[in-house]
């Protein structure tokens, strides 16, 4: 069977996230029940699970030979749970609500994040922020930002930007990842060099903000493939730098590394590396 071109996959994703956005936005205004996963810092709502099921059904109906990895449900195919894809299979990395703690608290910094992978390469992706109606996306040809009542914008980062020129988004250091107090010292040194630091709660949006120029760097630890895959694709197609590590060792594929740095320029990359102790 022939491969679906990446622009066609991207178009499918744009339609899918646009369909899901309004319902999730309405749900975010209600305070539903929370369930703790690994700890009280890591929560899930019924909306995470329900939205993931809708995404899974839509994807596996349109692409029945593909594999699906969701944050809440793990690996599956149309036939049920699976052990994951083969080397050449199309598969999906999905976070139905990236920024669940924000969503559950009524904060607006959260999004839907979906990435398609084939042959070890990111092929198409979409990150949708229902509050603003903005959707960042990418395919083999580039990265894009769609906003209500505006023409589609092709994304290209400024690779000459320096830390003092913009914002850095980071969740590091975090209580989820044990670090000694030197991490706080390194964070303070980085904060002195960037215009300002932001702790947002949504890695996918942080990466998209680097891609569209709203931010110039992001670094963190404790991420999972579904947190970062779509954002990686979008920012790389926009010309930004992405590095990932496992216990400070470079990791491939990059979405598997729990420690990451995203930067618009080499100057921002170097400050971020130092902040992470790399």
186's CB contacts (< 8 A; 6+ apart) are: 274, 275, 276, 277
**Cis bond upstream, residue 253 (ω within 30):** yes
Q: From 99, 100, 45, 122, select the one nearest 209 (Cα to Cα).
A: 99
Which burial class, exposed, middle or buried, applies to 253 when counting CB atoms under 10 A from its CB (0-12, 13-18, 19+)?
middle
How many angstroms separate the CA atoms of 241 and 270, rounded? Answer: 11
| Signed CA dihedral, 133, 243, 173, 271: sign only | negative
Which burial class, exposed, middle or buried, applies to 174 when counting CB atoms under 10 A from its CB (0-12, 13-18, 19+)?
middle
Residue 97 labeled ligand binder: yes
256 secondary structure, DSSP code:
G
**Cis bond upstream, residue 173 (ω within 30):** yes
Q: Yes or no: say if 265 and 159 are a contact pair by the CB < 8 Å rule.
A: yes
Residue 8 labeled ligand binder: no
Residue 108 labeled ligand binder: no
Annotated binding site: 71, 95, 97-98, 227
Annotated binding site for Mg(2+): 71, 95, 97-98, 227
């Amino acid at each position: 069977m022939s491969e679906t071109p990446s622009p066609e996959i991207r178009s499918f994703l744009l339609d899918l996230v646009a369909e899901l956005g309004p319902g999730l936005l309405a749900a975010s205004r209600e305070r539903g029940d929370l369930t703790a996963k690994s700890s009280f810092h890591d929560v899930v709502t019924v909306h995470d699970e329900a939205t993931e099921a809708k995404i899974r059904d839509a994807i596996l109906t349109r692409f029945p030979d593909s594999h699906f990895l969701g944050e809440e449900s793990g690996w599956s195919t149309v036939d049920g749970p699976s052990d994951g894809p083969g080397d050449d299979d199309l598969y999906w990395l999905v976070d139905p609500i990236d920024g669940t703690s924000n969503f559950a608290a009524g904060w607006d910094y959260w999004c839907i994040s979906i990435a398609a992978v084939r042959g070890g390469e990111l092929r198409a992706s979409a990150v949708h922020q229902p509050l603003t109606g903005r959707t960042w996306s990418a395919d083999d040809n580039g990265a894009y930002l769609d906003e209500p009542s505006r023409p589609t914008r092709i994304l290209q980062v400024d690779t000459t930007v320096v830390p003092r020129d913009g914002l850095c988004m980071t969740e590091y250091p975090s209580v989820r990842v044990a670090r000694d107090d030197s991490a706080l010292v390194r964070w303070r040194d980085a904060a002195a060099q960037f215009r300002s630091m932001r702790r947002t709660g949504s890695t996918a949006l942080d990466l998209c903000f680097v891609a569209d120029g709203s931010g110039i760097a992001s670094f963190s630890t404790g991420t999972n493939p579904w947190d970062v895959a779509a954002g990686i694709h979008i920012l790389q197609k926009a010309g930004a730098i992405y590095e990932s590590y496992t216990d400070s060792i470079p990791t491939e594929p990059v979405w598997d590394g729990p420690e990451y740095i995203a930067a618009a320029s080499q100057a921002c990359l170097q400050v971020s590396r130092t902040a992470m102790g790399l």
